[in-house]
Amino acid sequence: MKVLNVGSLNIDHTYQLERIVAPGETITSKQMSVYAGGKGLNQSIAIARAGIEVYHAGKIGIDGQFLIELCNDSGVNSTFIETGVIPTGNAIIQVTSQGQNSIILYPGANRSLDKAWIDKVLTEFSKGDILLLQNEVNLIDYLIIEGKKKGMNIFLNPSPYDEYIDKCDLSLVNTFLMNEVEGAQITGCYDPECILTRMKNLYPQAKVVLTLGQDGVYFQDKEQRVYQPARTVKAVDTTGAGDTFTGYYIAAVIEGKSAIEALTFATNAAALAVMKAGAANAIPKRHDVEKY
């Protein structure tokens, strides 16, 4: 079984603030740092650091070459990362002293994928392989359809939720990985119990992983619903915590762990991630997660 992640690669500009800026307000940042990021990149690195082989496919500009180097150094196969003329995607991230964040995203090269390129990448994968997707690249509707035609298992993190998600045939998704905001946007519900019930009615064959931050995480399939509490830690920066969880969860699934084992493994990894600043660089290695 191979893992293909067609996902974003970003340059994150992170600003340390006392609070998130309000409309019309100007605040002086205490610090600004530049990190590697993007949901796709973060999740690929998390999978690799969990000990699973993963291929990352995506596009960057000439300003993003260090992202390929990071992939290679982290054990991510970068064969399908292509450099073009459109600048690398980037994010402006506000991080408070309590570790909470607010993000503005510029897609850049991430949304310059084309169908011919997607078709070429998918020829290297087959039935039973995992196709991991997020909504920071374009053509995810096409990726879902073509991946499913090949018999791949579709794992979707529907973030950020927008009109592109509405174009997708979500009945083809095998596993949804989402937080309560995305769950509410898909179902119209705001209570976790309601979100999970509505998801089961809408997509009865799909597995659902619903993360709730400090309130823990749920797993649901057609046979069971499992809950795992969050670890209580001092958060420095929550950016990338969900991506860390996703990567380690997928690794656990591939290794055949039970639902509760997979949630525990991924929860511990995410807890370690929030105790460091940045996104990709904060993702822990497997031996640190096991020790923790």
Q: List, by residue number, the catalytic residues.
A: 243
Is 114 annotated as contributing to ligand binding?
no
CA angle, 148 then 114 then 59, to 5°: 100
Is 261 annotated as contributing to ligand binding?
no
Peptide bond into 87 cis (omega under 30): no
Is 81 annotated as contributing to ligand binding?
no
Give SS3 for 257.
coil
Is 38 annotated as contributing to ligand binding?
yes
Q: For residues 273 and 277, what is the distance between their CA atoms, to the nearest angstrom?
A: 8
Measured CA distances, 12 to 73, 98, 283 (Å) = 19, 19, 15
Is 153 annotated as contributing to ligand binding?
no
Is 10 annotated as contributing to ligand binding?
yes
Is 179 annotated as contributing to ligand binding?
yes
Is 213 annotated as contributing to ligand binding?
yes
For the four alpha carbons of 290, 225, 227 and 130, in that order, the dihedral sign comes to: positive
Is 157 annotated as contributing to ligand binding?
no
Q: For residues 209 and 203, what is the distance between their CA atoms, to the nearest angstrom?
A: 13
Residue of 107, 109, 178, 173 lying closest to 141 (CA atoms): 173
Is 41 annotated as contributing to ligand binding?
yes
**Residue tagged 């909504």 (tokens):** 135
Is 211 annotated as contributing to ligand binding?
yes
Q: For residues 2 and 31, what is the distance between their CA atoms, to the nearest angstrom?
A: 40
* Contacts (Cβ under 8 Å, ≥6 apart) of 258: none
Q: For residues 244 and 44, what is the distance between their CA atoms, to the nearest angstrom?
A: 9
Is 278 annotated as contributing to ligand binding?
yes
Is 215 annotated as contributing to ligand binding?
yes
Is 185 annotated as contributing to ligand binding?
no
Is 169 annotated as contributing to ligand binding?
no
* Contacts (Cβ under 8 Å, ≥6 apart) of 281: 35, 36
Instruction: Report which secondary-structure segment, H or E, holds 134.
Output: strand 130-134
**Binding-site sequence positions for ATP:** 179, 211-216, 242-243
Feature table: binding site for substrate: 10-12, 38-42, 136, 243
Q: Which residues are annotated as a binding site?
A: 10-12, 38-42, 136, 179, 211-216, 237, 239, 242-243, 273, 276, 278
